[in-house]
Amino acid sequence: MAYDIQQVVNMSQAELDRLFSASEPGDIPNGEANGTAIIALGTPYSYAVSQIISYFAWQGKIFDAKSGTLKNEITPFGLRAIIAKVYKADSWFDQKPCIVLDYSETSMVAHWIRDEIRLVADKQYLGKVYWGKKHLIDFFLQF
């Protein structure tokens, strides 16, 4: 089942957590993915906030599966920066396999950030962002 971005940003945290936990990691993706930050859950502003962030701050991620790395696409100008290592490991959320996006050794600005993603539908990944070991927000990637 493919997900519509408005459907995803309108899910509750419990629904996002269930979807993430019920999903497999899938293959490490390759190529460019449009990203949507999922913020302000449970409010009528969730979709609007996610769209503002997508325009002004973060548009997505560009994966290179062969090298096991990615770059984030940031700013309204689509700057490709903030590199992460990409590999499979157990999730901090539920200790099941996931794809980890690890900034600890590759980024001065985001070295305390760890993302985890799982394949929720064809070419669609749901992700969790951690600051240290504290869950911050969720995000959605569409290839």
Q: Where are the domains of the chain?
A: 5-142
Cβ atoms of residues 73 and 53 within 8 Å: no
Cβ atoms of residues 73 and 57 within 8 Å: no
The CATH number given to 5-142 is 2.40.128
Tell me the pTM: 0.95
For residue 88, the model assigns a pLDDT of: 98
Average pLDDT in the chain: 95
For residue 55, the model assigns a pLDDT of: 84
Cβ atoms of residues 126 and 138 within 8 Å: yes
CA distance 49 to 90: 30
CA distance 77 to 94: 36
Tokens of 74: 């940031």
CA distance 19 to 63: 23
Residue 44 pLDDT level (bands cut at 50, 70, 90): confident
Residue 12 pLDDT level (bands cut at 50, 70, 90): very high
How far CA 42 is from CA of 3, 16, 50, in Å, comes to 18, 12, 13
In the predicted model, what is the mean pLDDT of residues 123-142?
97
- Does residue 58 surpass a pLDDT of 90? yes
In the predicted model, what is the mean pLDDT of residues 82-102?
98
